[in-house]
Chains A and B, each alone.
Chain A
């Protein structure tokens, strides 16, 4: 940067190239953390590079360089988020459907909800589902462990899942 301030274009090109990679990673990380799309990171990277260029006279050569860059990047990120807060409201409606489609059952329900739902089932069905579906045991292993026949295990799992689906279904419809 010190060489760039004196007008060394080659050093400046190398510097910006290195910075663009770190800035891109920084913005992607920050945007992902607050659930924003990573595609905004590229725009922000370019905007920050332009800011670094146009405000390079505010860098004091005796000061550490990275805190200066970080302050600009952080400022541009906050400014970007503040500016796009309103426009993020008018996302097209199909995006909302995508969100629902993407959230499959297992991801949507936390482990706690799962336990609560399973608690509603009769003991035999619950232990069968826990063993086969959650712990991943085979039907034969489960049958041996709980001392019931294999077909009994299959029926318990089937009925239990059906009951679970029914208990969840009305909630899904209203949501």
Chain B
């Protein structure tokens, strides 16, 4: 086919498009991911046993808020990344800052206590469940967001994939925080942070394969 003919075909039935479509779809996918994850956590794992006591709502709210400080800038960056050339002008510092803050708090908390206290806090009854649950649950929002991003045009697939993984991990961690009763800062830093990091790594590796267009 000649290029001139192609241009004729492409411009023959030109429909107006809305550039706001991509942000709308992305927010929809993230919101749907959050709802799905919350439904899975309540349905499969169940809410915290002390849910009746209003005072016990504080730790999960703090955990959710901490995760959201990563989720929100990461979502804004993903929107940028899903446009051609959007990988320029992305500062990773803003995303890494909450991680650094939580790890600092955790180190302070461990340094304050006795040394055997640290292993006790980290390898509590919950840690295996946490390490297995967060990445597994993250598959659901990861699939939803990947499906939406595939309709866009990211030009840095590895980095875009990493952000999809990061967001999916955050959503999953937010849902899991509704179930998890271990509220210590080191536990949160290592197992929540670690699994979110793992999701990010998986996304970084899978991005070039899944997001090609």
| Chain A interface (Cβ < 8 Å from any Cβ of B) | 4-10, 12-13, 16-17, 20, 24, 42, 45-46, 49-51, 53, 55-61, 63, 67-72, 74-75, 79
Cβ-defined contact, B85 with A71, below 8 A: yes
A17-B7 in contact given A61-B19, A75-B155 (Cβ < 8 Å)? yes
Distance between Cα atoms of A168 and B6 in the complex (Å): 53
Distance between Cα atoms of A71 and B14 in the complex (Å): 23
Q: In the complex, which of the residues B10, B17, B155 contacts A5, with contact meaning CB atoms closer than 8 Å?
A: B17
Per CB-CB distance, the 5 closest pairs between chain A and chain B, nearest first, are A71-B85, A7-B16, A71-B84, A55-B153, A13-B11
Residues in B with CB closer than 8 Å to A58 are 19, 22, 82-84, 152-153
Question: Does B129 sit within 8 A of A, measured CB to CB?
Answer: no
Residues in B with CB closer than 8 Å to A12 are 10-11, 14
Q: In the complex, which of the residues A46, A68, A70, A74 contacts B83, with contact meaning CB atoms closer than 8 Å?
A: A68
Cβ-defined contact, B6 with A9, below 8 A: no
Separation in Å of the B153 CB from the closest CB of chain A? 4
Q: In the complex, which of the residues B7, B15, B84, B153 contacts A49, with contact meaning CB atoms closer than 8 Å?
A: B7
What is the total number of residues of chain B having a CB less than 8 Å from a CB of chain A? 27
Separation in Å of the A84 CB from the closest CB of chain B? 15
Distance between Cα atoms of A42 and B83 in the complex (Å): 25
Separation in Å of the A161 CB from the closest CB of chain B? 50
Q: List 13 A-B residue pairs with CB atoms under 8 Å apart, sorted by A's residue number.
A: A5-B19, A9-B11, A12-B14, A13-B8, A13-B11, A16-B10, A49-B3, A58-B19, A58-B84, A58-B153, A63-B83, A74-B155, A75-B153
Cβ-defined contact, B21 with A57, below 8 A: yes
A57-B19 in contact given A45-B3, A68-B83, A70-B85 (Cβ < 8 Å)? yes
A60-B19 in contact given A13-B11, A49-B3, A55-B152 (Cβ < 8 Å)? yes
Cβ-defined contact, A9 with B155, below 8 A: no
Distance between Cα atoms of A75 and B5 in the complex (Å): 24
Encode B105-147 as 1/0 by CB contact (under 8 A) with A: 0000000000000000000000000000000000000000000
Residues in B with CB closer than 8 Å to A74 are 155
Q: In the complex, which of the residues B1, B17, B84, B213 contacts A68, with contact meaning CB atoms closer than 8 Å?
A: B84
Cβ-defined contact, A75 with B84, below 8 A: yes
Separation in Å of the B211 CB from the closest CB of chain A? 11
Residues in A with CB closer than 8 Å to B7 are 13, 16-17, 20, 49
Encode B170-213 as 1/0 by CB contact (under 8 A) with A: 00000000000000000000000000000000000000000011
